Amino acid sequence: MNCSADNASNKAAVTEPLKILYRDDALVAIDKPSGLLMHRSFLDKHETEFALQKLRDQIGQHVFPLHRLDRPTSGVLLFALSADTARLMTEQLTARHWQKYYLALCRGFFRAPGLLDYPLKEELDAIADKKADQDKDKQQAQTAFWPLAQVELPIAVGKYQAARYSLVLAQPLTGRKHQIRRHLAHLRHPVVGCVNHGEGRHNRLFREHFDCHRLVLHAARLELMHPLTGLPLQIDAPLTDLASLFSRLGFQTDWSWYQQQMLNCQPALAQLSALGENG
């Protein structure tokens, strides 16, 4: 099985029913495949599959999106089942009561955990945001990173005879557009498969040697307080199509191992020192 997001095989996968990770009377969470748009958009008029409409039709009721995942990103995507619940959850999100964890495959050896505090200028779309203020100040952006695994591939890239990569756990503490991708690019560890902030040579290596045509960024876990019970709620999205790639790279594919890594990093967050400009 490959990890493609731009070919015919992925189109077939997207047309399959969405995998529901959690559902009760207030909330429903899906495992969004890479390549699936959140909702209809004039930016891509040729698409016929959208997460919001697809989930609505699948469960037979209206759903209210509570956050978003970029089209190429896979993983946990949460919806409310009523407008009142959506309002309560939006208040939680605004107050930063949610915790999100992502897995990212990036170029180079990411040496040590750290907290990057690096403001980002708002990314505006040339069409959708053409009337927006083009000169806004940079916004606060913080992401914590933990290296999980490393691999060196005997494949020449540019002037190097081998290619090095790291699997990183990322926890965004703010919610800026493309924050994880932009922060890792700033640290000179661009995410594999990223078109706008990645490196073409490494993206091409994974297409040619691993048949991987997708962004290797996965929303692995979402933690929040349930809007009705007030109890903690944890929703995980296992590796799905990334398991094959991770296995070939020699990375863990047992989801319980990743659950333990996320558990281990939680008490360490407050102790992380800020990463320097060179990472």
Catalytic residues: 70
Q: 222: number of CA atoms within 13 Å, CB side?
A: 28
Rounded distance between C-alpha atoms, residue 178 and residue 216, angstroms: 13
Q: Which two tokens stand for residue 165?
A: 């990569």
Find out whether 181 and 116 touch, Cβ atoms under 8 Å: no
Bridge partners of 167, per DSSP, are: 105, 149
